[in-house]
Structure 1
Amino acid sequence: MAETTTKRRGIDAGGRRFQLEWAGVTDVGLRRDTNQDSFFAEYPLFIVADGMGGHAGGEIASQRTIARLEALLAEGQVNRPGIESALELVVGDIAAHPETTDEGTGTTLTGVFLEADGDDLHWVALNIGDSRVYLLREGRLVQVTTDHSVVQELIAAGKISPDEAEGHPYSNVITRAVGASELTAPDYVTIDVRAGDRFVICSDGLTKELTDYGIQHFLNENADPGAAVDAMLAAALENGGRDNVTLVIVQVAGDSSSTEETSEH
C-alpha cells in the first residue's frame, strides 16, 4: 500500500490563526491493471481527478488536468477564472494525444481551494462528474458536492431511492466530465473556515467500497489525516478494491502559529 505524507501549514482567516493538516494517497486497487486517478494536494489547492477512456486515455486525461491546475500555483491563479481557463487548455491537451481517441475519454474533477476575500479566506468546493467532496463538521458528515450522474438525476426526480441507486444499471454513467463533451465549468460551493472541519476528497473507487457511515467512522477513529487516509484505503481494498482508489483529507485545527511541516506515516 502506498505511503502517505501528512503536511501542515498555518493560515489566517476571519482574524484568527488556524493550522491546516492534509494527506492524500492513490492506489490502483485490486481489479484494475492501471491507475487512471490522479490527485494534487498542496496549499491552497486540494483536488482529485478520475480518468475514463480505453487504453491510456483516462490516465492521460486525469494527469493533464492535474498538471494544468498545479501550474496555477506558480502563476498565482488559484481562483475560479484561473481554474476555468486551465480546463479549457486541458480539452486541447486531451485531444492532442493519440491515446485519447475513444469518444468517452475524459476525467472527473473535484476538490477544494482557499479563496481570498479581502483579508479573509474561505473554502470553495468545485466539482465536475461523480467524484466527491465530503465535510465533517461538528460530528456530522455531509456530501458537499452533487454528483453529475444519471442516477443522481433519477434520485432528484424522485424516480429511484438512494439505496436503489447503488445497484442501478446506469450507476457508472456520468453526465459531465472534462474533455468527454463540450466544456462545462465546475459547480462551486462556498464554505467558511472553521476549526475542526475535515474534508474528504475522493474518487468513486472509495465510495463504491465505503458508505458515508464508514467514511465518518474512520474520520472519528483517526485524528491524524495520514492515519485516516491509510485506514480508509485499507478498508476500501479489503471490501473489494474494484476500482482505483484516491482520497485526500484536509482538516482545520484551532489557533496555531505553526509554519509548514511535513511528517511521514
Structure 2
Amino acid sequence: MTSPVIALSGAATDAGLRRTLNEDSFLSVPPVFLVADGMGGHDRGEVASATAIAEFAGFAGRDSLSIDDVRAALDRARTRVDDLSVGSEAGAGTTLTGVVVAEVAGEGYWLALNLGDSRTYRLSGGVLHQISVDHSVVQELMDRGELSPEDASRDRRRNVITRALGAGSDADADYWMLPAAQGDRILVCSDGLPSELPVERIRMILSVEAHPQAAATRLVQEAVLHGGRDNITAIVVDAISVARRGSALSGDDTDIDSDTLPREPVGGIR
C-alpha cells in the first residue's frame, strides 16, 4: 500500500540565546510530524517532551494513522509523563502539536492535534492559516474580547497555558481532520518561533524557501537572531503527492478546496 500523502520534510531546533538546555523534542518521520515543548518552571521538562515524542516514534514508516492510533499513543504518553512527577514536588509537563498522515475513503488527509501553545500552520495558495488554537490564558482573554492581539504579545501571562500533557492537566487534545492537497506546506513549531517572528515574516520564509529543510533552518536561525529568548523548533512538511478517491497518487487536486480549514475537532472534542 502507498501512503495517501507522500511528504518531504525538514526540521531544525536551537536552544536559543538565553537558555543552556533545549527542552523541545520533535519527530519528523512520515507519517508523523510532531513538536513537544517541555514546560519551563516544571521539573524535567526536557524529559517530559522526549517522553511524549517517544510514544509516537513506533509509527515511523506506516502509510497512515487513524485517530484511534493517535489517541492511544497520547494516552500512553500522558501516563508516562505523569509518572515522571511521582515523588517530585513539581510536575513534569509538555505541550504537543503537529500533524499525522491519515486516509479517509481513499483520500489523503492531515490529522492535526494540539495540546498547549506550540503551533501548527498550513500554507496554501500563498495564505498562511494557523490550524491549532493556543491553550493559553491570553488566548482565552482574546476569545472573550478582553485582550487585543497587540496587547497579548506583551502580556505577562502569555506563557501561561491551560492544557498540557502532565503538569496536573488531564484535558484532551484538540483534533482537526483536514483534506490534504498537493502543494500544501505544513509548519509545526514551538512557541519560541512565533514569539520572535511576526506571522508575515514566517509566511514569507515559507513562501520563498523551496526545500522544507532550508525553510526550517532559516526560520529557526532568524528567530535566534531576533532575540532567541526561548527554545525554538520548526518542522516544515510538503505534500508532494496526495491520493484521491478511486485513483492513484495525483498532483491534480483541483476538486479539493485547499483554503478551507474546518475548525471543528473530529469527534466533537475540544
**CA deviation map 1:25-69 (0-9, x unaligned):** 221111111111000011111000001154761011100000011
Query: For residue 23 of structure 2, what is the aligned residue in structure 1?
Result: 36
Read off the aligned partner of 1:135 and give its amino acid letter: R
The answer to whether residue 201 in structure 2 is matched with residue 214 in structure 1 is yes
Aligned pairs for 1:161-240 (under 5 A) are 161-240=148-227
Question: Residues 159, 121 of structure 1: CA spacing in aligned structure 2 closer, same or farther, 3 A cutoff?
Answer: same
Query: For residue 25 of structure 1, what is the aligned residue in structure 2?
Result: 12
The answer to whether residue 239 in structure 2 is matched with residue 252 in structure 1 is yes
Query: For residue 73 of structure 2, what is the aligned residue in structure 1?
Result: 86
Query: For residue 252 of structure 2, what is the aligned residue in structure 1?
Result: none
Between Structure 1 and Structure 2, which shows a larger proportion of helix residues?
1
Rounded to whole Å, the distance in 2 between the matches of 1:100 and 1:187 is 30
Report the TM-score when normalising by structure 1.
0.84
**CA deviation map 1:105-124 (0-9, x unaligned):** 20000000111223222111
**CA deviation map 1:44-97 (0-9, x unaligned):** 110000011547610111000000111244798833222222222223323433
- Residue of 91, 97, 101 corresponding to 2:84: 97
Rounded to whole Å, the distance in 1 between the matches of 2:71 and 2:46 is 21
Q: How many residues align?
A: 244
Question: Residues 39, 234 of structure 1: CA spacing in aligned structure 2 closer, same or farther, 3 A cutoff?
Answer: same
Question: Which deviates the most, 47-56 or 98-107?
Answer: 98-107
The answer to whether residue 65 in structure 2 is matched with residue 69 in structure 1 is no
Rounded to whole Å, the distance in 1 between the matches of 2:184 and 2:62 is 28
- SS of the aligned residue for 1:206 comes to coil
Query: For residue 127 of structure 1, what is the aligned residue in structure 2?
Result: 114
- SS of the aligned residue for 1:134 comes to strand
Question: Residues 130, 164 of structure 1: CA spacing in aligned structure 2 closer, same or farther, 3 A cutoff?
Answer: same
Rounded to whole Å, the distance in 2 between the matches of 1:93 and 1:74 is 23
- Residue of 125, 128, 134 corresponding to 1:138: 125
The answer to whether residue 136 in structure 2 is matched with residue 156 in structure 1 is no
**CA deviation map 1:118-174 (0-9, x unaligned):** 322211111000000011110111111100000000000000111110000100000
- SS of the aligned residue for 1:21 comes to strand
- SS of the aligned residue for 1:32 comes to coil
- SS of the aligned residue for 2:170 comes to coil
- SS of the aligned residue for 2:192 comes to helix
Rounded to whole Å, the distance in 2 between the matches of 1:182 and 1:77 is 29
Query: For residue 60 of structure 1, what is the aligned residue in structure 2?
Result: 47
Rounded to whole Å, the distance in 2 between the matches of 1:85 and 1:194 is 27
Report the TM-score when normalising by structure 2.
0.83
8 Å CA contact 1:56–1:100 kept in 2: the answer is: no
Query: For residue 262 of structure 1, what is the aligned residue in structure 2?
Result: none
Query: For residue 242 of structure 1, what is the aligned residue in structure 2?
Result: 229
**CA deviation map 1:174-231 (0-9, x unaligned):** 0000012242221011111112211100000111111110100101121111111111
Rounded to whole Å, the distance in 2 between the matches of 1:104 and 1:163 is 32
Question: Residues 41, 168 of structure 1: CA spacing in aligned structure 2 closer, same or farther, 3 A cutoff?
Answer: same
Q: Which runs of 5+ in 2 are unaligned?
A: 250-270
8 Å CA contact 1:88–1:183 kept in 2: the answer is: no
Question: Which deviates the most, 67-76 or 122-131?
Answer: 67-76
Question: Which deviates the most, 178-187 or 143-152?
Answer: 178-187
RMSD: 2.5
Rounded to whole Å, the distance in 1 between the matches of 2:155 and 2:148 is 10
Rounded to whole Å, the distance in 1 between the matches of 2:55 and 2:10 is 21
- SS of the aligned residue for 2:140 comes to helix
